[in-house]
Amino acid sequence: MRIFSGIQPTGRKHLGNYIGAVEQYVAGQERGEGIYCIVDLHATTVPYDPVALRSDVHDLAAVLLAAGLDPQSAILFRQSDVAEHTELQWLLMSATAYGELTRMTQFKDKSAQHEFISAGLFSYPVLMAADILLYRTEQVPVGDDQRQHVELTRDVAQRFNARFGETLVVPEGYYPPVGARIMDLQNPERKMSTTGGSPQGTVYVTDEPEAIIRKFRTAVTDSGREIRHSPDKPGISNLLEVLAAVRGTSVAALEREFDGSGYGDLKLAVGESVATYLAPVRERYGALRADEQGLERTLERGAERARAIAAETMRQVRGAMGVGPVG
Ligand code: AQP
């Protein structure tokens, strides 16, 4: 089973990224051959600081290694080190409809946040399709917010194959059964997010345990008393999902366990469990982040392995599309 996912080096990673994606990458190592890409080219589609971008790549590489990604078995690399991503993106643009891209909700949300709306932001989902299809990926572990982009990737691959002959593998999205959409603790109607969230409602992977417990203690809930997962209780439902994800249990089991307890008990239990869950990651992160040369070596080795797979896919794509010499 070939598993691929990309993750943006955009500042500090939050609990949503961790449960929805990073934890799935680590678990994926058991299921198959994992390829994980730090997508720095995606991060250039909105205003950014070039100096910070390089350092953010190192921050993220250290988080992924601290979480338990083993670069000996999985491939961990930086997107811009493998030029085939942008070449395949350009070729896939011809198999993507303009109308499809205008329907992407992430583009609509993000373009509303910026004055200068880059063409890169608009074509972002095609680069994401190229990232995935380059590695003949079968499974893509991502959070629920990426569902529409994974569906677009499948449509583009199917259209390409219908037009140019069977060349690309059509991947499946893989969404965690609990925690695929962790919500902001202060605004549980909105997902926890790097750019759109509230500081108090966003738990970062490298937060101190006391800060984590405080953020959960002040989480917004309803004025009722019943601990139940339901659409009319977004705050409580989110807390139950977070606790189920970090404890590796089900929401139904937690509803039974907390039957008759107060909201304060649940908030404290979630805060403490998340602090305990993230503490070893934070501890390992410090030493890994300090060794920049070691991180660069890991990314370089990963890029070499990624290039070997990507080059073969590009040979087939170029052949199917009649681009370049016969090869
Ligand atoms: N709230 C979330 N719950 C579960 N999974 C989530 N992901 C993001 N938010 C949640 C998943 O994390 C992975 C990496 O996301 P990314 O590369 O898009 O990184 P980002 O842009 O910094 O993360 P955000 O928070 O999604 O930023 P905004 O909101 O600013 O765009 C993906 O698999 C994603 O599904």
pLDDT tens across 29-69, in order? 988 999 999 999 999 999 999 999 999 999 999 999 999 99
Instruction: Ligand 1, residue 106: give the atom nearest the CA.
Output: 31
Q: Is 326 contained in some domain?
A: no
Report the alpha-carbon distance of residue 2 to residue 31 in Å, rounded.
Answer: 9
Number of domains forming the structure of the chain: 2
Closest Cα to atom 12 of ligand 1? 17
Verify that 123 and 220 share a domain, yes or no.
no
Burial class (CB within 10 angstroms; exposed 0-12, middle 13-18, buried 19+) of 198: middle
Do 232 and 306 fall within a single domain?
Answer: no
To the nearest whole percent, how much of the chain has pLDDT over 90? 94
pLDDT in tens, 276-289: 999 999 999 999 99
Helix (H, G, I), strand (E, B) or coil at 66: helix
Check whether residue 13 and residue 75 sit in a common domain: yes
Q: Based on the domain organization, do 301 and 265 belong to the same domain?
A: no
pTM of the model: 0.96
Query: Residues lining ligand 1, CB < 6 A?
Result: 7-8, 10, 16-17, 19-21, 142-143, 145-146, 180-182, 191-196
Residues with Cβ within 8 Å of residue 237, at least 6 apart in sequence: 188, 229, 230, 231
Structure tokens at 215: 């953020």
Which residue matches tokens 């290039």?
A: 307
The answer as to whether 70 is a domain residue is: yes
Residue 144 CA, ligand 1 centroid: distance in Å: 9
Q: In terms of domains, do 244 and 226 share one?
A: yes
Do 205 and 66 belong together in one domain? no
Instruction: Give the CATH number, domain containing residue 163.
Output: 3.40.50.620
Residue 145 alpha carbon, nearest atom of ligand 1: 35
Residues whose CB falls within 8 Å of the CB of residue 10, separated by 6 or more in sequence, listed in order: 43, 56, 194, 195
Q: Which of 7, 17, 111 for mutating ligand 1's site (highest number of atoms within 8 Å of CB)?
A: 17
| Contact between 11 and 133 (Cβ < 8 Å) | no
Residue 180 placed within a domain: no
Q: Measured over all CA atoms, what is the biggest interatomic distance in the chain, rounded to whole angstroms? A: 72
Q: Are residues 193 and 10 in contact, defined by beta-carbon separation less than 8 angstroms?
A: no
Do 87 and 18 lie in a common domain?
A: yes
- Are both 217 and 308 inside the same structural domain? no
How do residues 85-118 score in pLDDT, each as one tens digit? 999 999 999 999 999 999 999 999 999 999 999 9
DSSP alpha helices (H): ranges in 195-233?
209-217
Nearest CA to ligand 1 atom 14: 7
Does a structural domain hold residue 22?
A: yes
Q: Looking at ligand 1, which atom is closest to the CA of residue 42?
A: 17
The answer to whether residue 189 is domain-embedded is no
Domain of 232 in residue numbering reads as 199-286
- Residue identifier of the C-alpha nearest atom 25 of ligand 1: 193
Q: What pLDDT band is residue 326 in, cutting at 50, 70 and 90?
A: confident
Q: What is the C-alpha separation between 127 and 207, in angstroms, rounded?
A: 32
Q: How far is Cα 8 from Cα 46, in angstroms, rounded to an integer?
A: 12
